[in-house]
């Protein structure tokens, strides 16, 4: 079993941080009474250095 630390994750191409946010739409689920993820878009933003990009590196 591979540990989560050893699995690739999206990283900022500028600073290498894994604190990445991605633009997305959420829609209301009547059954659960919660907002649920509907679709993701191409834009990413780094929480650390605030760089916005349409590309991230998937690195361990
Ligand atoms: Zn960054």
pLDDT confidence bin for 4, thresholds 50/70/90: confident
Q: What is the pTM of this model?
A: 0.75
Q: Is residue 56 a contact partner of residue 16, using CB atoms and an 8 Å limit?
A: no
Work out the average pLDDT over 15-23: 95
Residue 33 CA to ligand 1 centre (angstroms): 34
Question: Above 90 in pLDDT, residue 2?
Answer: no
**Helices and strands of the chain, counted as H and E runs:** 0, 5
Domain that holds residue 31: 4-59
Q: pLDDT tens-digit profile of 24-56?
A: 999 999 999 999 999 999 999 999 999 999 999
Instruction: Compute the distance between CA of residue 10 and CA of residue 6 in angstroms, rounded to an integer.
Output: 13
Q: According to the model, what pLDDT value does residue 24 have?
A: 96
Residue 28 CA to ligand 1 centre (angstroms): 31
What is the distance, to the nearest Å, from the Cα of residue 26 to the centroid of all Cα atoms in its chain? 14
Domains held by the chain: number: 1
Residue 50 CA to ligand 1 centre (angstroms): 6
């Amino acid at each position: 079993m591979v540990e989560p630390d050893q699995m690739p994750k999206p990283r900022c191409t500028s600073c290498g941080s894994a604190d990445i946010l991605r633009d997305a739409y959420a829609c209301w689920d009547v059954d659960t009474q919660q907002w649920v993820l509907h679709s993701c878009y191409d834009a990413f933003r780094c929480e650390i250095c605030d760089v916005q990009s349409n590309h991230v590196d998937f690195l361990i």
